């Protein structure tokens, strides 16, 4: 099977590409290399067709999607802060680019699209753990774009263009997450600081919680979605007819929760530090949420499994991967 992975040279994308190749699929990657890197694909570079291009460029996406049966759409400007600072630029990638990918997939005759949405669509949740039917309160342009992408996915599915699966990613971490990137997750930054014997800065008081999911667990689920039979996407009827309801998406998370001060201590343990890491506090950032904890009942029911790597194990593996 031929699969297109947008953002396939990035952190999550490169792990996805490797797993698809291991499963015997032919893979095309479309990435503008703004945050992704050829180095992330170094071990598989001879087995992958890498096209350097912009997902908001219809010609580039049409070329990349040609002949593909499945599209895994991961490309995004994955930064709340960047979207607040420059909503027009991030909207071009995160929404216009997403529509371009969905349209190209439909025109190419792809049978399935897997879309990376975000837990950011929930905003400040009032009930924890967060269920998929919770009220959506997007607090940033990034979150708004991701939620709009879910609606567009539902539109293409209702039209019969393809079967779609949307996942709301919570806080993903693991090897290849670049700590020097302005879009990097907190774990990669904390681990890098631990490796260099430095302290960390927490924006807020440190009581804010996150649901962290190890990248290899996340990719396990993406592969299950790639192989899912048509007609079983979110909102699809059991007989495979196009869905009539609005967008639905599935939480992709561990189903656990940890506050950032506890995370700092766990990072220090994973790094083998003998002394606690120094912590400085900065003002909370616009668009950041204070509490995040996913309900993964729907994920377990749909795919028969949930991410299971313990945070301590995932942190240790990620620390070992640092160069």
Which CATH number characterizes residue 52's domain? 3.40.50.720
Q: Are residues 245 and 260 in the same domain?
A: no
pTM of the model as a whole: 0.93
Which residue spans within the chain are E strands per DSSP? 2-6, 26-31, 48-52, 70-73, 112-118, 163-169, 171-173, 200-203, 209-210, 212-214, 250-252, 258-259, 279-282
pLDDT by 10-residue block (mean), the chain, 323 residues = 98 98 98 96 96 98 98 96 95 98 98 97 95 96 98 96 97 93 85 95 95 98 90 45 62 97 96 95 89 97 95 96 83
Task: Answer for the pair 163, 112: CB distance below 8 angstroms, yes or no.
Answer: yes
Q: Is the dihedral of CA 110, 22, 252, 214 positive or negative?
A: negative
Q: What is the pLDDT of residue 181?
A: 78
Q: Are residues 156 and 261 in the same domain?
A: no
Q: Are residues 178 and 266 in the same domain?
A: yes
Q: Are residues 163 and 185 in the same domain?
A: no
Q: Are residues 78 and 12 in the same domain?
A: yes
| Residue 160 belongs to some domain of the structure | yes
CATH number at residue 259: 3.90.25.10
Q: Are residues 190 and 95 in the same domain?
A: no
Q: What is the pLDDT of residue 243?
A: 43
| Residue 316 belongs to some domain of the structure | yes
| Residue 133 belongs to some domain of the structure | yes
Q: Are residues 113 and 179 in the same domain?
A: no
Residue 133, classified by CB atoms within 10 Å of its CB into exposed (0-12), middle (13-18) or buried (19+), is: exposed
Q: Are residues 200 and 232 in the same domain?
A: no
Residue 314 belongs to domain spanning: 173-210+255-294+308-321
Cα separation, 267 vs 264, whole angstroms: 5
Q: Are residues 191 and 152 in the same domain?
A: no
C-beta pairs of 270-277 under 8 Å, 24+ apart in sequence: 270/191, 270/194, 270/312, 270/315, 270/316, 270/318, 270/319, 271/191, 271/194, 271/195, 271/319, 273/194, 277/190, 277/193, 277/194, 277/199, 277/200
Q: What is the pLDDT of residue 2?
A: 98
Catalytic residue among 142, 152, 173, 214: 142
Q: What is the pLDDT of residue 293?
A: 97
7 Cβ contact partners less than 8 Å away, ≥ 6 residues apart: 13, 30, 31, 36, 55, 73, 74, 75, 76
Q: What is the pLDDT of residue 286?
A: 83
Q: Are residues 135 and 21 in the same domain?
A: yes
Q: What is the pLDDT of residue 287?
A: 80
In the residue annotation, 173 being an active-site residue is answered as no
| Residue 21 belongs to some domain of the structure | yes
Q: Are residues 237 and 278 in the same domain?
A: no
Q: What is the tally of structural domains in the chain?
A: 2
């Amino acid at each position: 099977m031929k699969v297109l992975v947008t953002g396939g040279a990035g952190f999550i994308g490169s792990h996805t590409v490797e797993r698809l190749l291991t499963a015997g699929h032919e893979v095309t990657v479309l990435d503008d290399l703004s945050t992704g890197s050829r180095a992330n694909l170094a071990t598989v570079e001879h087995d992958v067709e890498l096209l350097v291009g912009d997902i908001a460029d219809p010609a580039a996406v049409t070329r990349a999607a040609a002949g593909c049966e499945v599209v895994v759409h991961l490309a995004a400007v994955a930064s709340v802060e960047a979207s607040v600072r420059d909503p027009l630029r991030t909207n071009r990638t995160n929404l216009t680019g997403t529509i371009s990918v969905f349209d190209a997939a439909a025109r190419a005759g792809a049978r399935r699209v897997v879309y990376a949405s975000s837990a950011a669509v929930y905003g400040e949740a009032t009930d924890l753990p967060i269920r998929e039917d919770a009220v959506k309160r997007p607090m940033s342009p990034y979150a708004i774009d991701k939620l709009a992408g879910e609606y567009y996915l539902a539109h293409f599915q209702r039209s019969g263009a393809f079967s779609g699966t949307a996942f709301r990613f919570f806080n993903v971490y693991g090897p290849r997450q670049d700590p020097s990137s302005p879009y990097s997750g907190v774990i990669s930054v904390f681990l890098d600081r631990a490796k260099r014997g430095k302290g960390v800065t927490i924006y807020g008081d440190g009581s804010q919680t996150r649901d962290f999911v190890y990248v290899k667990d996340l990719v396990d689920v993406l592969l299950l979605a790639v192989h899912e039979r048509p007609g079983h996407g979110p909102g699809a009827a059991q007989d495979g007819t196009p869905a009539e309801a609005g967008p639905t998406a599935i939480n992709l998370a561990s189903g656990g929760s940890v506050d950032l001060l506890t995370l700092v201590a766990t990072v220090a343990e994973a790094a083998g530090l003998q002394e606690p890491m120094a912590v400085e506090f900065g003002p909370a950032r616009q668009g950041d949420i204070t509490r995040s904890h996913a309900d993964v009942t729907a994920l377990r029911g749909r795919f028969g499994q949930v991410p299971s790597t313990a945070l301590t194990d995932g942190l240790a593996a990620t620390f070992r991967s640092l160069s």
